[in-house]
């Protein structure tokens, strides 16, 4: 008789073959006493990612898309195929550190109110990756971030809400959202909240998902006892300009979906203008650097 699956690990990949292999190896090295499955969804990579992992790992469930369908849609493909009581959305450019998965499952088992949880995410040099716990980008939170006030006053509960730098990074906390590079989801909560919103091609889908979780009464937790390393940005280096567009489009979609109806219409126009100008500056800067 087959044991029930504790954890379905879904990894969406795009041209990160070598990092993906390292990620899978780290899972296998640090998953003793866990009944898990790995579902890899490849978004039409051109670096032979699928062939690389097929040759190295025989027990993977691989979905090979003919086109790049985006991060949210690809994760949904994996979720639909998954069987675990918990689902882990994991980036391919990550390395699972010892006992991470065990500690995260234990935390979710002990906190029945947790719909989503995320671990401590480290940069390759061992420093904290600030995006692993954050607040929702409301107009005020985003303003403090864009104007640099959050960096000037990192211990301020008012100005530093974007990355919650005023909180102790070594203490478990309820937060608004966790990083999409490692996001563990309770199956029961997912059934009530629904899939990732496929309007988000890349970026923003984890914020939207956590927002909807909290709307349904579930809690989102940051769990620092469990750790991974995240080689941030490695999966999108080949598509920098499109990544800039996708990021700012995600900002607009999130604002329109969750904040616009509560915001004075003139301020809405200013926010949209600000997002557009910011995207333009980043694109111009990337063109200048290339030339």
- With a pLDDT cut of 90, the percent of the chain lying above it is 65
**171-222 residue pLDDT tens:** 999 999 999 999 999 999 999 999 998 888 888 899 999 999 999 999 999 9
Full residue range of the structural domain in which residue 245 is found: 238-290
pLDDT band at 148 (very low <50, low <70, confident <90, very high): confident
Least confident of 3-7, 43-47, 92-96: 3-7
Which of 235, 253, 268 is a domain's end point?
235
pLDDT band at 1 (very low <50, low <70, confident <90, very high): very low
Q: Whose CA is closest to 136, among 185, 177, 165?
A: 177
Same domain, 173 and 211: yes
Which of 202, 220, 235 is a domain's end point?
235
State phi, psi for 86 to the nearest 5 degrees: -125, 150
Total structural domains in the chain? 2
pTM listed for this prediction: 0.87
CATH value at residue 173: 3.90.550.10
First to last CA, the chain: 62
């Amino acid at each position: 008789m087959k044991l029930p699956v504790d954890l379905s690990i879904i990894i969406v990949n795009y041209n990160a073959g070598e990092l993906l292999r390292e990620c899978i190896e780290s899972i296998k090295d640090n998953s003793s006493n866990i009944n898990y499955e790995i579902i890899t969804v490849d978004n039409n990579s051109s670096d032979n990612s699928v062939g690389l992992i097929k040759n190295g790992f025989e027990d993977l469930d691989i979905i090979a898309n003919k086109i790049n369908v985006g991060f949210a849609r690809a994760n949904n493909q994996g979720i639909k195929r998954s069987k675990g009581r918990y689902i882990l959305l994991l980036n391919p450019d990550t390395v699972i550190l010892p006992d991470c998965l065990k500690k995260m499952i234990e935390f979710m088992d002990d906190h029945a109110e947790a719909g989503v949880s995320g671990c401590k995410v480290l940069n390759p040099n061992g420093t904290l990756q600030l995006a692993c716990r954050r607040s929702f980008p409301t107009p005020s939170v985003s303003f403090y971030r864009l104007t640099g006030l959050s960096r000037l006053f990192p211990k301020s509960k008012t100005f530093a809400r974007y990355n919650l730098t005023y909180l102790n990074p070594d203490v478990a906390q309820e937060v608004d959202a966790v990083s999409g590079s490692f996001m563990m989801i309770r199956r029961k909560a997912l059934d009530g909240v629904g899939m990732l919103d496929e309007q988000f091609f890349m970026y923003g889908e984890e914020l939207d998902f956590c927002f909807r979780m909290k709307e349904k009464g579930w809690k989102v937790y940051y769990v620092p006892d469990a750790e991974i390393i995240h080689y941030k940005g490695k999966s999108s280096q080949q598509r920098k300009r499109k990544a800039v567009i996708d990021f700012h489009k995600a900002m607009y979609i999130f604002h329109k979906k969750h904040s616009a109806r509560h915001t004075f219409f003139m301020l809405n126009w200013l926010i949209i203008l600000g997002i557009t100008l910011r995207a333009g500056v980043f694109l111009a800067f990337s063109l200048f650097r290339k030339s």
